[in-house]
């Protein structure tokens, strides 16, 4: 499923310009431990986390992720946003909790 | 012929070489309407009074607007409909009474070539786009969107091709020596979380430009990232050096201390000596060394308390440069 479709259907806010919202999302991974994400996430997946520091972009770029979703209306640090646009990684925010957004994504994207 | 059918496409193609025109032709067949259309569509409810239409068209600078109820397109009401309504001097009514119900649309998964044909055949400036699955209105498309989409796609492909062309295999072919090693060095700063990750992403980009296979790059990048984070989180700073030969990539991460007290324990998955504030940032999961080991073919870890740590891991390239070597011989 394309990222923009997911953004529309789950009501995410996109904070980044000049990023590819048209890419095909290959799955979803939920974790706040960076090493765990690095070890287990598949390339092209969306990553749901509450971490907001710039290193999430390093992880996302490293694993060629489709984007990062920040939960509980948490806002990225300025540096995070800057890096995200440099690396072309979409940062999306939601008011929903990790559980709620994960549930919606599961219904939308399914098991993967 | 497709290229003759839209003026703007002609303009776009006349600027480029014969080879690129073929590329545009390929793309109009390959790309779908949903890839270039605008997703944010201004719409009105069928119950909107005609008297409010003028302000909307003026404020949004549009000449017509889709009439939508529960995401389903019911018609389009344009400035022409509005003028006709004024001329007839009819009492105020809803847009649903004055809109055009027969609307030409495109599907989201129609190819661009079909879109271009429709623009040419009907001469409209824009088409509402309907989802073939749900039947709902999902976007709107203009000729400008098609041109922009094609140009963007061509630019992306061009960059990809450029990088692709410049392959490391050529470097190794071009260098005449009995043994060739490319060395990349990176400084890693202690507790600088803003710059953390720059070494691994820098090395990743470098290897990608060299044309090394994505699977290999992924393994090198992950292992390097973990080594880099170990230096950032636990040490006073250090240096990462990657040595690339036709046979292997060897990465060495060296720091000035404090050293690892118990290497065996440190190697256990989940074991970490990270402080709470570091863990709160999502680091210190105790998976770093395990991840490095999983990603590499060989790993060596030497550490002395009070002196420092030297971590080295090797990833074999095996077949990656075999073609180059064969050429060389």
| C-alpha pair distances (Å), B180 with each of B203, B213, B245, B248, B279 | 18, 19, 6, 11, 42
Average pLDDT, chain A: 93
| Closest C-alpha to A35, from B297, B274, B304 | B274
pLDDT at B161: 60
What does the DSSP 8-state code read for residue B50? Answer: G
Task: For Cα atoms B181, B183, B187, give the angle at the middle one, nearest 5 degrees.
Answer: 165
Comparison of pLDDT for B102 and A110, the residue scoring more:
B102
For B54-103, write each residue's pLDDT tens digit: 899 999 888 889 999 999 999 999 999 999 998 888 888 999 999 999 99
- Interchain proximity A43–B218, CB inside 8 Å: yes
Which residues of B are less than 8 Å from A76 in CB distance? none
Strand B248-255 to B238-244 pairing: antiparallel
The share of chain B scoring above pLDDT 70, in percent, equals 85
- Interchain proximity B294–A22, CB inside 8 Å: no
Average pLDDT, chain B: 83
Interacting residues of B96 by C-beta distance below 8 A, sequence separation 6+: B46, B47, B67, B74, B75
Closest partner CB to B291 (pick from A32, A39, A87): A39
Decide if the complex's ipTM is over 0.85: no
Residue A100 pLDDT exceeds 60? yes
Residue B319 pLDDT exceeds 70? no
Q: Which residues pair with B127 in a beta bridge?
A: B141
The structural domains of chain B, ordered by start, are 2-160 (3.10.580.10), 168-328 (3.30.565.10)
pLDDT at B194: 76
DSSP result, A10-47:
HTPEE--SS--SSSBP-EEEE-S-HHHHHHHPPTTEEE
Comparison of pLDDT for A3 and B322, the residue scoring more:
A3
Which residues of A are less than 8 Å from B149 in CB distance? none
Q: Is the dihedral angle over the CA atoms B259, B262, B266, B267 positive or is it negative? A: positive
What is the value of pTM for the model shown?
A: 0.57
Find the residue in B nearest to A7 (Cα).
B39
Which residues of B are less than 8 Å from A63 in CB distance? 218, 222
Question: Mean pLDDT over residues A66-93, rounded?
Answer: 95
Question: Mean pLDDT over residues B160-182, rounded?
Answer: 71
Q: How far apart are CA B201 and CA B229, in angstroms?
A: 12
| Residue A95, token pair as written in the block | 């008011």
Q: How far apart are CA B273 and CA B200, in angstroms?
A: 23
Helix residue ranges, H only, B91-132: 95-98, 112-122
Comparison of pLDDT for B58 and B319, the residue scoring more:
B58
Q: Phi and psi (nearest 5°) for B163?
A: -65, -40
Q: Which residue has the tokens 């000449």?
A: B63
Among B69-73, B197-201, B276-280, the minimum mean pLDDT is found in: B276-280
pLDDT at B104: 92
CATH among 3.40.190.10, 3.30.460.10, 3.30.930.10, 3.40.1390.20 for A3-109: 3.40.1390.20
- Interchain proximity B282–A63, CB inside 8 Å: no
pLDDT category of residue B175 using cuts at 50, 70 and 90: confident
- Counted residue by residue, chain A has a size of 112
The share of chain A scoring above pLDDT 90, in percent, equals 81
For B4-58, write each residue's pLDDT tens digit: 444 544 444 343 444 444 567 667 777 889 999 999 899 999 999 998 998 999 9
Q: How far apart are CA A90 and CA A16, in angstroms?
A: 6
- Interchain proximity B197–A36, CB inside 8 Å: no
Minimal C-alpha gap between B202 and chain A (Å) = 10
Chain B, 112 to 151: residues with Cβ < 8 Å from chain A are: none
Minimal C-alpha gap between A4 and chain B (Å) = 8
pLDDT category of residue B225 using cuts at 50, 70 and 90: very high
Contact B233/B274 with Cβ under 8 angstroms? yes
Choosing among A40, A42, A58, which should be mutated to test the B contact, i.e. which has the most B CBs within 10 A? Answer: A58
| Closest C-alpha to B228, from B211, B251, B208 | B251
pLDDT category of residue B166 using cuts at 50, 70 and 90: low
Contact B243/B250 with Cβ under 8 angstroms? yes
Among A48-57, B140-149, B272-281, the minimum mean pLDDT is found in: B272-281
Residue B302 pLDDT exceeds 60? yes
């Amino acid at each position: 499923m394309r990222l923009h479709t997911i953004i529309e259907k789950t009501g995410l806010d996109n904070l980044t310009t000049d990023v590819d919202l048209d890419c095909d999302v290959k799955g979803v991974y939920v974790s706040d431990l960076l090493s765990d994400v690095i070890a287990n996430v598949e390339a092209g997946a969306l990553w749901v986390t509450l971490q907001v520091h710039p290193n999430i972009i390093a992880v996302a770029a490293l694993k060629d992720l489709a984007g990062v979703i920040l939960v509980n209306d948490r806002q990225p640090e300025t540096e995070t946003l800057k890096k995200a646009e440099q690396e072309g990684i979409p940062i999306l925010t939601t008011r929903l909790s990790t559980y709620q957004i994960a549930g919606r994504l599961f219904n939308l994207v399914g098991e993967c | 012929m497709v290229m003759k059918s839209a003026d703007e496409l002609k303009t776009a193609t006349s600027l480029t070489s014969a080879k690129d025109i073929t590329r545009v032709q390929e793309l109009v067949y390959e790309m779908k309407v949903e890839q270039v259309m605008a997703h944010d569509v201004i719409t009105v409810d069928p119950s909107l009074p005609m008297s409010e239409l003028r302000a909307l068209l003026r404020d949004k600078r549009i000449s017509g607007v889709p009439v939508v109820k529960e995401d389903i397109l019911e018609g389009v009401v344009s400035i022409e409909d509005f003028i006709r309504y004024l001329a007839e001097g009819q009492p105020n009514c809803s847009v649903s009474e004055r809109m055009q119900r027969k609307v030409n649309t495109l599907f989201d998964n129609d190819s661009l070539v079909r879109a271009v044909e429709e623009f040419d055949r009907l001469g409209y400036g824009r088409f509402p786009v309907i989802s073939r699955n749900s039947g709902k209105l999902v976007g709107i498309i203009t000729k400008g969107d098609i041109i922009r989409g094609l140009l963007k796609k061509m630019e992306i492909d061009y960059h990809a091709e450029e990088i692709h062309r410049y392959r490391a295999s050529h470097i190794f072919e071009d260098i005449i020596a009995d043994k060739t090693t490319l060395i990349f060095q990176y400084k890693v700063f202690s507790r600088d979380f803003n710059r953390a990750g720059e070494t691994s992403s820098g090395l990743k980009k470098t290897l990608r430009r060299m044309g090394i296979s994505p699977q290999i790059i992924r393994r090198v990048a992950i292992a390097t990232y973990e080594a880099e984070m170990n230096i950032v989180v636990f040490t006073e700073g250090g240096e990462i050096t990657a040595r690339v030969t036709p046979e292997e990539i060897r990465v060495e991460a060296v720091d000035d201390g404090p050293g690892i007290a118990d290497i065996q324990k440190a190697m256990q998955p989940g074991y970490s000596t990270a402080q709470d504030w570091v863990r709160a940032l999502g680091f210190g999961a105790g998976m770093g060394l395990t991840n490095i080991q999983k990603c590499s073919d060989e790993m060596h870890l030497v550490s002395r308390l009070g002196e420092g740590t030297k971590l080295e891991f090797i990833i074999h390239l095996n077949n990656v440069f075999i073609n180059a070597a064969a050429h060389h011989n």
